[in-house]
Amino acid sequence: MASKKKQLEISLKDMNDIKPITDNQKLVFENYKDKNLFLYGVAGTGKTFVALYNALKDVLDPKSPRERVYLVRSIIPTRDIGFLPGDEEDKSYLYQVPYQNMVRFMFKRGSDAEFDRLYNDLRNQGTIDFLTTSFLRGVTIDNGVVIVDECQNLNFHELDTIMTRVGQDTKIIFAGDMQQTDLTKSQDRNGILSFVNILQEMQEMECIEFGLNDIVRSGLIKSYLINKIKLGLHYEQI
């Protein structure tokens, strides 16, 4: 049974009513309630956007047991961010910019200043948290939605660690483009294949592949990807 949630300054009533644009985006909306999700395919298809939108609607719903969205990424190219100056917040700030931009389209706010503060306000009220794979060891995540973004840049050990951090009443969503991995070692690339094979065997997981027809970002990206594939300049599809 869901526990009574505290009153939040930014709530479900402040969210825009966003509808899916493509058939595969529609599948995400339809499967979100009952499934964990693995969203993979080409760039510009809105995988992370629809994942984050559905996750925020979930955690802001007073009837939902989930209370926080956890955005998880590996900090590429320096996988161990301990070598960078500053604390974890300083080191990860650059990687949070895409999510700051996304939430601006998801909420109704009264002024430009409120839009500028929106992401930080969501973090301050405990609705969004940003985690890196370097700081997940020993953590159990209960009552949340975990979005593992750019998952193609994680090796098997990192993916396995994230999966085993999932606790009670927590949903997990993986999003990535397996043709754009930054991993260079064949062992790491093979590890992703092994992890994906596990996900595809799980009844609790819905795997949705986004293709060229799902691109919504711009015609330029769509044209580039079509011609890259036509010329054979792409990785083997998982």
Distances, alpha carbon 50 to alpha carbons 72, 84, 202, in Å? 16, 31, 22
Please list, in sequence order, all residues whose beta carbon lies within 8 angstroms of the beta carbon of residue 22, skipping any fewer than 6 positions away. 45, 46, 210, 213, 214, 216
Mean pLDDT over 64-85 rounds to: 73
φ and ψ of 192, to 5 deg: -60, -45
Residue 12 belongs to some domain of the structure: no
Residue 16 belongs to some domain of the structure: no
The CA R_g of the chain, rounded to the nearest whole Å, is 18
Task: Assign 108 a pLDDT band (cuts: 50, 70, 90).
Answer: very high
Which tens digit of pLDDT belongs to each residue from 11-58? 999 999 999 999 999 999 999 999 999 999 888 899 999 999 999 999
CA dist 77 and 184 (Å) reads 11
Count of structural domains, the chain: 1
Which residues face 38 on adjacent strands? 174, 207
Residue 81 belongs to some domain of the structure: yes
Residue 3 belongs to some domain of the structure: no
Residue 15 belongs to some domain of the structure: no
Q: Do residues 72 and 172 make contact, with C-beta atoms less than 8 angstroms apart?
A: no
CA dist 33 and 54 (Å) reads 9
Specify the pLDDT at position 1. Answer: 42
Q: Do residues 99 and 53 make contact, with C-beta atoms less than 8 angstroms apart?
A: no
CA dist 5 and 7 (Å) reads 7
Domain of residue 215: give its range: 23-230
Token pair recorded at residue 230: 């036509």
Which CATH number fits the domain that encloses residue 219? 3.40.50.300
